[in-house]
Every structure is written in structure tokens, then in C-alpha cells.
Structure 1
Amino acid sequence: MGSPSSSATSSSIEKPKQGLGWMEWLRGWFYVIYEFLFQRIMASHLQNPIPLPPLNDLTCIITGCTNGIGLKIARQMAESGAHVVMAVRNTKAAHELIQKWQNEWSGMGLPLNIEVMELDLLSLDSVVRFAEAWNARLGPLHVLINNAGIFSIGEPQRFSKDGYEEHMQVNYLAPSLLSILLLPSLIRGSPSRIINVNSIMHFVGFVDTEDMNVVSRKRKYTSLVGYSSSKLAQVMFSSILQKRLPAEAGINVVCVSPGIVDTNVARDLPKIVQIGYHLIPYFIFSAEEGSRSALFAATDPQVLEYCEVLKADDWPVCAFISHDCRPMNASEEAHNIETSHKVWAKTLDLIGLPSDAVEKLLEGEEIQCRYQPSRE
């Protein structure tokens, strides 16, 4: 029987973490404020728009691309020759955009190779239907850009029809399900990439795997808690997915920070950041500037080399590209490999996939998802 001191030590080790320590929290906000103040200086070496190589042999699916960063990504990739699939909820708006772009592009080359498919990230059924429709084409997918996201500033907590907190579902659960279900097409497009548009806000996030919906009242819910938690969960999940994909699969997972981009995200943020948003717009990126890191991660050959180095070194976190298109280190909490594995297991359960879903898909087997639409 152990001594009282050893028992106390054992129980303290087993006690689950309830949130970020104050030093972690302080460091996290330091990184956020530092990025806000200096992002334009740090990215001053980048051209705007960022130049892209010819992408004529590339097929790319981009979620949430009828406005903001996603719109800029979709248009620039299409104008560089890629076959772009706009995966959006508002298909009417997407078709109108395509018509506008084709008219403006007329006479500058071949018509843009761009199409629209319906995808509603607030419905996991919709994610499964989209993936089934795409995989049924039996064509290659070279790049998946999980760009769509929400930050419902100051809004009360809301849940999807699937029962999940909306930030967690749109920013994290639905893109995770989509990424796994599209693995067969990504294998056909190898070497291929999954690009997750993340955020510097993951530095102030914390994921409680027993309370991912933030309903237990252990933490007070705010939109900032919902958003930052979803972004940290995405980094953790991406890290485990990268580890589970063997080198021969030829699929790499990369998270990117677009920087702090011109959008209404101020009310839940510290006063100093609010002041910056309203009084010093110079510091904030435009949507075009915010699109550069995702475009770089999706197209630059150096990114694949970066991923290979991290894999060889058995680095605990997936590749992360900063707003200035340079590698950056994810948050301290994102390096918690034990929590990352818990997040992975919990997520597969939430999105209705078996624990060996990735392995089965890599072997060419079919898997069943709980959200599979019923066929009559």
C-alpha cells in the first residue's frame, strides 16, 4: 500500500484539467495581441494577391466560399486554372458569383473551371450526402480547403439539429467528418492536402472532451469560448489524423492562420483589441490578405517538405502555417498529445464513425456513418 504522499500525487495526476492555467491563458492572449499589432509588418514581404503557379491539373473543394476569405481563395485558384468546387449552403449566391467572375474573366483565357455543390455544415446528413456524391465520381481530389466557419459574437448558445453547439459543429465536427469521408478521393489525388483554416484564437482555447458542447456549467459559455475551443479541437484532431495517415497515402494535413481579418469579431474580445478594430483599421487584414496563407498551404511545394520533416521528427502537432506564410508552432495546449487522442476518439463518436474509419478507408473498405441518409 502506497504512502499518503504517493496517493496524493497519484490522485493529482489523475484529476482532469478544468481549463487553461493563468500563465497559459496570459501567454495565449499575448500571442493574439502580438499578431494583431504586428501581423502587417510580419507579412510585409508577401505580395497581394499572392502569386500562384499554374494549377491546371488541380481539383480543389472549398467550403464556405461565397464571401470573405473563401471567396478570394476560390476565385484566385480558378483564375490560376484549377477545377474549383464551391461547397456552399447558399448555392444561388454561388452561381451568381460564378456568372460574375466568368463575365469579368471573358477574353483573358479559357472559361473558369468552377462548379457548385450544396453543403450545409449545420447538418451532418448534408456532409455525408456531399461526400457520397463527390466520391461517386471516382475522380481525384487534390486539395480540400475547410474554410467555412462561424464566430457568432455576443450571441447566446445555440445548437444544431444534430444537437451540437454551433461553433463546434460548423468549425470542427462537420469539417472533420468531411475530411475523413473524402479520403478515398484524396488518395486518388495523391499527393493531396487537407487545409484547415484555423485561427490564432486557438491559443486561448481549451477542450474538455467530457463537455465539448459546454453545457456542464463547469465553464461559462460565451461565443469566444465556443469559437476558440472549436479551433483548438481542430488542431488536435488534425494532428492525430496526420499521424494516422501513412506516408504512402500521400495525404498531408495543414492548419493555417489567416491572421486577424476585417470582420465583426470584436465584442467578446479584450478592450485593447476592440479599440484596435474600431480605431486602427491599418492593423487588420483584408479578405484578400487573409486568403494568402491558405493559398500558400494549398499550392506551394515547400509545404509538403515541411510536413515530411515533421512526420520524420514525430512532432506532436500537425503542420501549421502562419498568416505570413511561414511555419509556426501551435499553442502549448495543442501539444498535449494525450488530450489530442481523447479529442480524436470523442470526435469519431460524435460524428458517427467507427474508431478504425481511417484505416478502413485507406484499405479501400466501405464504412458506415451514423448520419448516412436512409435509402428507401
Structure 2
Amino acid sequence: MASPEKGKNGKERDEVVKQRAKKEGLGWIEWMMGWFYLAYEMLFQRIIASNLENPMPLPPINDLTFVVTGSTSGIGKEIARQLAEAGGHVVMAVRNPKAATDLIKKWQEDWSGKGLPLNIEVMELNLLSLDSVVRFAEAWNARSGALHALINNAGIFSIGEPQKFSKDGYEEHMQVNHLAPALLSVLLLPSLIRSSPSRIVNVNSIMHNLGFVDPEDMNLTSGKRKFTSMVGYSNSKLAQIMFSSVLNKRLPSEAGINVVCASPGIVHTNVARDLPKIVQAGYRLIPYFIFSPEEGSRSTLFAATDPQLVEFCESLKAEDWPVCAFINHDCRPANPSEEAHNIETAYRVWEKTLELVGLPSDAVERLIEGEEVTCKYGVSQ
């Protein structure tokens, strides 16, 4: 019979072995498959989605309220316009309120004579400031109004640029694409619960297939991996799926909220302005393969409005599926990357995310119970 001391040493050795065996990146097969999926989508996305109309007809959404982040350009601009033209109440949550106001004026003029004036308003939101996120959520919740869908569309992909950090101290891709939307989603739960059935829709990317998230190195500052804008972007999108999957599990069916990630496909947006000159030339040479913003908006609009999606999301919960609903660019359910199915890492990403955005670990449960939750950001001076 082994002594207690030997047993203790054995456990310590097992823990050391486990730590050494901890995955520190994508395997070469996963990495190659990620690039294969990216190339496949680039070449065949238009054929795969050829069954979709453009613009895509929307179901009746009168009296439904949508918050759309990053809605002054690209996909977000199309999402906001089409939701408004279909009769929805749209809140453009943007960093530049003047640009949004100018857009609304133009849209109202173009829409004149086609029906009632578009029901759109503007609220300021800067995802590079977690203080701004908290202020937005507090202002919205204080209205005690309806919120049927939060569409986290805003994102950045600073191609070719050196690593940058927000004033909050976080790598910018991770903050804008994951941390800030995660904080906004949690803080708006009271409004979403009040308006259930409701949804949180996160605009994701096929490039999450190239991502690998180390919860202890979400800022990519440890030196374990060299930072590139590609690494920063793909990691942030994978982190978003992982957090969304855990959030979806934490929300009981009676809360009436479903979390969905949607891939728009490869879209010609303002990201192209930051591409190398040779890649920009490629964009102009192969327009057939790349979606316009209007085409790229279809999967998100579907995820935000399709009535049958609720039943699909609930079935995933019932089956204890490891990831939340993921809608592909052809508006059909798809399976995110193998790494996105890593439940252990997903829960570590969940815990680390709540820590970084200044929320208690039981924030979701407390908000569901109607309790107040304090965030370390946005505190009144």
C-alpha cells in the first residue's frame, strides 16, 4: 500500500504532466483545415448561397426593437437599414453619432412615400471603452423599454498593423470583437428578459477556424505566440463563440433568450481599406467571389428575425450541444471549428472574460433573478 506522501507526490507529478500536455496552439492538421475552409468559402460561397434572394425578405417585425452596433458602414449599415424598412424599431449604437444621423436623414428621404417614416434612433457606443459600454447599457435599461434582439455587429480587423491596446489595457481585436460585446450582452439581459422571446446575435467569421485562445494570455503578451493581426482577429472571433456557447447554457429556457453566432461570409467592407495593396488589387479582380455588404447581411438578418430559429436553439440546449447555434452565410445551421467545441477551454474563457470586464462570476444568474450587478467600469465619478 502506497504511503500518503508517495500518493501526494504522484498527484503532483500527474498535475505537472497535465500542465505540460496542455494544448498551446492549433495542431498542423487543424491549421491546414482552417485555411482550407477559408479558401473553400472564398471560392464557393456565392454558389452555396445561390438559393437566397437579395435583399432577403424578412418576416413581419413591426413593434420589434433591435440594437445594432457598428451600423454606419458595411454589414451593420445594411442590417440597420433593412430592419427599419421592414418595420422594426432600430437603435444604431455607434461611435460616431453624427455619421449615423446623416445616414438616417438620407434613408428617410429615400423611403419617403413608401410607407411610414423609418423608426430609427442613434445612441453613442464606443467599444474601445468599457466605460462607454456600461453607460450605454445603463441608459438603455433605465428606459424600461423593449429589446428583442441585440446584434453585436461592430468589429475590427487591423490587417498588417502592429499590436495595439485600448485605454482599458486590452488588445484591441480582443476588446472590440469579444470583451466589449460580451459585457454589453450580459448588462442588457434585464431588457432582453423583459422582452422575451429575444436574441443575442453575434456577427462572427469563418476565420475563427484559425483561432486558438489561451485564457491566461488573451492579450497575447506572454511571448508564447507572435502577434499578428490575423492571430488577434481569429482568436477574438473564437473567444466570442466560446463565450456565447457558455452564455447560452447559462440562460434557462424560461428566460426566453437565445444566443446565436452568424458568419456573413467573405464580404467586401471597409476592412479592405487596411489590406496590402496587392490584396486590394485581388479584391478588385475577383468581385464575383466576394459578397457585397447587402449579401453579407443576410445570415445576420436571418439569425435576428427567423421565427423557427427559437425552436432550433432550444433543441441544442435540450441535447446539451457544446456550442451555441451557428448560422452560416447561406442561412443554414453549420458547425464551428473543432476548437470551438473545447468545453473546458470555453468555460475558462467565460471565467476570464467576466474577470477582465469587471463582472462577478455569478453576474448572469443574479441578473436573471432580478438582482442588480455592479461592474467595475462605468462607475459614476
Say yes or no: TM over 0.5: yes
Structural mapping, 1:1-376, within 5 Å: 1=6, 11-15=16-20, 16-263=22-269, 264-265=271-272, 277-375=283-381
Deviation at 1:54, TM superposition (A): 2.0
Deviation at 1:364, TM superposition (A): 0.4
Contact 1:179 1:194 in 2 (8 A): yes
Alignment partners' CA distance in 1, 2:172 and 2:284 = 27
**Unmatched runs of 5 consecutive residues or more in structure 2:** 1-5
Structure 2 SS opposite 1:346: helix
Structure 1 SS opposite 2:158: coil
Structure 2 SS opposite 1:164: coil
Matched residue type, 2:163: Q
Change (3 A) 1:45 1:137: same
Deviations along 1:23-43, one digit per CA (max 9) or x if unpaired, are 111111111111111100000
Alignment partners' CA distance in 1, 2:32 and 2:280 = 18
Alignment partners' CA distance in 2, 1:348 and 1:222 = 25
Structure 2 SS opposite 1:281: coil
Matched residue type, 2:219: N
Contact 1:196 1:254 in 2 (8 A): yes
Deviation at 1:279, TM superposition (A): 2.8
Alignment partners' CA distance in 1, 2:186 and 2:15 = 37
**Unmatched runs of 5 consecutive residues or more in structure 1:** none
Alignment partners' CA distance in 1, 2:355 and 2:48 = 40
Deviation at 1:12, TM superposition (A): 3.8
Alignment partners' CA distance in 1, 2:370 and 2:138 = 15
Change (3 A) 1:267 1:103: closer
Alignment partners' CA distance in 2, 1:357 and 1:108 = 45
Structure 2 SS opposite 1:155: coil
Contact 1:276 1:283 in 2 (8 A): no
Structure 2 SS opposite 1:253: strand
Matched residue type, 1:111: P
Structure 1 SS opposite 2:313: helix
Structure 1 SS opposite 2:267: coil
Contact 2:158 2:274 in 1 (8 A): no
Change (3 A) 1:334 1:275: farther
Structure 2 SS opposite 1:85: strand
Alignment partners' CA distance in 1, 2:348 and 2:156 = 24
Number of matched residues?
A: 372
Deviation at 1:139, TM superposition (A): 1.2
Q: Percent identical across equivalent pairs? A: 73
Please identify, of 176-185 and 101-110, the stretch whose mean Cα deviation from structure 2 is larger: 101-110
Contact 1:357 1:367 in 2 (8 A): yes
Contact 2:249 2:317 in 1 (8 A): yes
Structure 1 SS opposite 2:334: coil
